[in-house]
Structure 1
C-alpha cells in the first residue's frame, strides 16, 4: 500500500464484529475475525442494499442481515446459489492500527 488511511485501533473492533467507515466514495465495512484477521468491503449487499456491517460474521464470511446472502470476506463473492459480489479493499494492521489503502478508495470507472 502506497498511502494508507489510519481508521483506528484493532482493539476498537471486537473479535467477530465489524465497524462502518464512511468515505467520500461510500461506506466500507471493516471486519475483525476471531483470529484477528481484518477485511474491508463495501457495506451494501448488492441484493437489497443490506448493511453488511450489521451482518453476522462467521469465520471469514458475513451474512447479510436482510436476506441471508453470505459473502466471502476474502473475495467479496456471494456463496452458494446466490450470485453477486461486493468490492473488497486492501487493509492491513501495523503496530495495532488498521490501515486502509487510500488509492483503492477512488471510484471505479468502467472501461469504454
Structure 2
C-alpha cells in the first residue's frame, strides 16, 4: 500500500502548465496539468539534453521540451518518434481536487540521475614542454 504525499491543489497547477516539486535528493519532479485536467508527473529532465520539462508547453498528453522542442509523453515519459529516450515517470493521484505523489517514489525514484551540463565537453589541459 502506497503512502501518498500531498503536493498541491489541482488549481495550483496552471492549465497546460506545470509546477516543480523539490526533493531532498535527486532532481526535481515536474507535475503537469493538461486541458482535460489530467495530472501527470515526470522527472524534470528531458531525455535528450536535460532541458527542464517544467518550463515546456503542454499539449494533449505531451510536453514540448523548451530546449529543442522534443515532444515527451506525459503518460510514459518517452520521446515521440523519430526522437528516442525516456525520462522517469512518477505515480500521481488526484482526490477531491488535491494532487498526491507516492512518497516512496519521491524519496527513492531516479535520485541518481543528474542534469547534463550544456555546452561542449571541457578539453584536457596539456602541459607545454620547453623546446630544446
TM-score > 0.5, shorter chain as reference: yes
* Structure of greater Rg: 2
Runs of 4+ in 1 over 2 A off after TM superposition: none
Distance change (3 Å), C-alpha of 1:3 and 1:83: same
TM-score w.r.t. structure 1 length?
0.91
Structure having the higher strand fraction is 1
5+ residue gaps, structure 1: none
TM-score w.r.t. structure 2 length?
0.78
User: Which structure 2 residues correspond to residues 89-104 of structure 1 after superposition, within 5 A?
Assistant: 89-104=90-105
For 1:26, what is the secondary structure of its paired residue? coil
In structure 1, the residue matched to 2:76 is 75
Query: For 1:5-25, what per-residue CA distance to the aligned partner results, in whole angstroms no more than 9, with x for missing partners?
Result: 111111111211101111123
In structure 1, the residue matched to 2:126 is none
Alignment pair present for 1:27 and 2:28: yes
- For residue 107 of structure 1, report the CA deviation from its aligned partner: 3.8
- For residue 108 of structure 1, report the CA deviation from its aligned partner: 4.8
For 1:14, what is the secondary structure of its paired residue? coil
Root-mean-square deviation (CA), in Å? 1.7
Query: For 1:50-109, what per-residue CA distance to the aligned partner results, in whole angstroms no more than 9, with x for missing partners?
Result: 100000110000010001111110011100111100000000111111000012221459
User: Which structure 2 residues correspond to residues 1-112 of structure 1 after superposition, within 5 A?
Assistant: 2-24=2-24, 25-105=26-106, 106-108=108-110
